[in-house]
Structure 1
Amino acid sequence: MSLQNRLTLLSTAIVSVLLAVFCLFMYLMAEQYRNHAFLTRLRAEALTAGHLLVGRERLGPALYKLIDKNQLTVLPDEEIIIYNVKNELIYESGTDYISVTPATLQRVRELKTTRWREGNREIVGMLFTEEAEPFVILASAVDIYGVRTVQDFARLLAGGWFLMTGIVLVAGRFFMGRIVQPISRINQRIDEITASNMSLRLPEGKSGDELTQLAQRFNRMLNRLEEAFRLQRSFVSHASHELRTPLTAITGQLEVSLLADDEPDELRATLRSVLDDVRGLNRMANGLLALASASMDSSAVPMGPVQLDHLLEQVCREIQRLQPNYTVHLQIDPVKKPYADWQLTGSEPLLRTAFFNLLDNGGKFSPDHTVTMQLSAPAKSMQLRVHNAGSVIPVDQLAEIFVPFQRGRNASGLPGYGIGLPLTERIVQLHRGQIRVESSAEAGTTFVVTFPR
């Protein structure tokens, strides 16, 4: 069943039930009012009969019957019966609609006034005490007109209920169709969006309702997906280009060596060149694998306690072992800070890779291969500043250096593939941290990494 039909039936059912409850309430109120009004008239008839037949100013029974017979307001099938204290019949209007037992008379005396029903006849019994001797007066009648009026009212309510239910059903289907129409347009547009046509967006509308908010969020998700696709295509394109260059060089050198009758020294030189290219390929492959690993969901990366100050000391020793011409200065502020204050939850291998990349990048671009690392602890965070006095990164390229295979103009002539900084950024983001770069001719270039405690 479609959403339109489900919403239509649901709204119709709710309105129908509420309307039925309202109609039932109105019918019960009308019936209660009819019953109360009719019993009030019966009591009035009983009191009138008591005053005129057994009261202080009495009329003869024959005269009262004549008056009762010609009274315009007499009730349908009305019967008045009066008993004295000895249960002797004093007056009867001449009809015989009800039968009276001593138990009935005793109950009326005990309750002073009571009412009951026999079939469609309403009966009121009351104890009349205007004189010294109490009398029991019974008045009964059939509310023909009141019952008929209530029945007509009930039929009117039932007809109105069926009519309004039908109207709600038709109107509900029309308006629900208008409500779900944007969903149909969204579904149609979603079917048109493919991997080769990611520029299409969902119609958002101007109402600002939940459907508009859903379309807006879906469009923002499409923007992110389109950007991811663009980065992926760019990544594949740059990776293919970077891989093609050393592979072409290796192929050319090996083909030349096979065709030429080179001396052993020349062959060794060729093999050394090929080995350098293979090592470069290996470094690139390792960088790509690390970049893919850092792009994983944080829940899939094993995390544990990492002592940041000790890890930085290890990375500094490692970079100086691999690059003896680099000079690394590590400053921890303050030095005597408690052991637990430098601890964070993360992946030690990934953090080691990120810090190594920052140090290697700083030493590579610094004219004297000097890098300064400063670890500090502002409120509720830990901050690492990696500074070098190398060439300035142009302002328009500060954001692009974190894009895979994108290198700044200041990197011209220096070895590298444009993988280290993007990898570092993703590792930092994986640890819920932030990284930014500051570069100027006076202060040099500084990478600032901030981790939450």
Structure 2
Amino acid sequence: MKIQSKITLLFLLLSGVILVLLNITIFYLVYRFGFDDFFKRLEARVNISAEVRLFPGAKSQAYQEVRNRYLEKLESEKEYFFSTDTLNKININGGINVKSSFIKNILKDSAARYKVDNIFYAGKVFTKGNSRYIVIVSAIDPSGFQELKDLQRILVYGFLAAMILVYFVGKIFSFYTFQPVRRIINNVKNITANNLHFRLDELSGKDEIAELSYTFNDMLNRLETAFETQNNFVSNASHELRTPLTIISTEAELALSKTDANPEQRQIFGTIYSESEKLGQILNSLLTLAQSGFDGKKQRWESIRMDELLMTASESIKRINTDSNIQIDLEDMPTDEHLLYVSGNSNLLRLAVTNIISNACKYSDNRMVKIRLLAENNKVIISITDQGIGIPESELQHIFEPFFRASNTHSYEGHGVGLPLTLNIIRLHRGSIGIRSDVGKGTEIKVFLPLEASA
């Protein structure tokens, strides 16, 4: 998931939590205020009822008149009037739906409130002379509950609408926030080994984006210097090192051609010649390895049909090693010829495939080497399987390191640069290599290359 999407979701989550807490707070406060207001209305009626019942006369008639004229009649409004003795014993008539615990709370605190479902009760203790009385008024508050339901509906719909709005606001916010980052990414994608002189636009300010641009440009400066150094070495080494090696090899060959040299001298000249040739091969491999890992010159890319390339590579190995036993199995080859083409440099790819097949023949003592070609998941797959000595499992991770040779290859000639060179070439073509090996049974190497249409 992209950081922009993560920020949008995080913004949505935080906003959602804040809105939920705000809605809960609003609902709770309205709930408390609404019920508290209704209880106060009941308590006002309790006081009026007490005045009317306990203090009859003109004053009580005035209270009664106020009650009838100005106080609305509550739904299912009921009054309860009880007397109590000094021991707080109350005679409650049957059929009265008032909890005894509620009455005990009234006697204990002189006043109490109580609610069950949508029925509200308010009660209070009054004293007249030496007598004590309890007055309770109950009623139903349908409008209060309806208001809470309406409020709940409004809060839920408001929350959903707010979350949709917050999502789009967060998306727009994150889009504009990461716009400089996207611009940097697009600019970096356009920088290759061919145009390392390009630099990112340095932004004004001292924020993280400006610092990132500065860091990228600094890295590009170092890369350009390193690539130029490597390119100069590859260019100069080809001439400066090959010339003296050619002279040594030629002089040794000339000395061997002389008839007046004694056997000891001929042996020395032969050693010099063979070692100079070997050194030349190592030098050529190293230079090719360096060049394959550096795209300092634009490679000549072309459309390559892999079955034809395998045939060519196999034939070239058979010409060099006539004892090689190579079988190309085309049974799994795709019938659609468009699935056989890759985009790349044919010389480099042929060199990479030749290195793998040549190693398979060498380390299997020219036993059967089987080559399969197939296409899966927009990739051309080349499978090369031998029946050779295999590679120890602990050493598999090192076989692509330059000059590394497995511990069981001492009796075979080699320099340890073939597979690193092959890996560099395959990576240059945006491919990959997989390897599976059993000691004493053989090795299978798979090369994965993207199809030309998906390259």
Give TM-score, length-normalised by structure 2.
0.49
Give TM-score, length-normalised by structure 1.
0.49
Larger Rg: 1
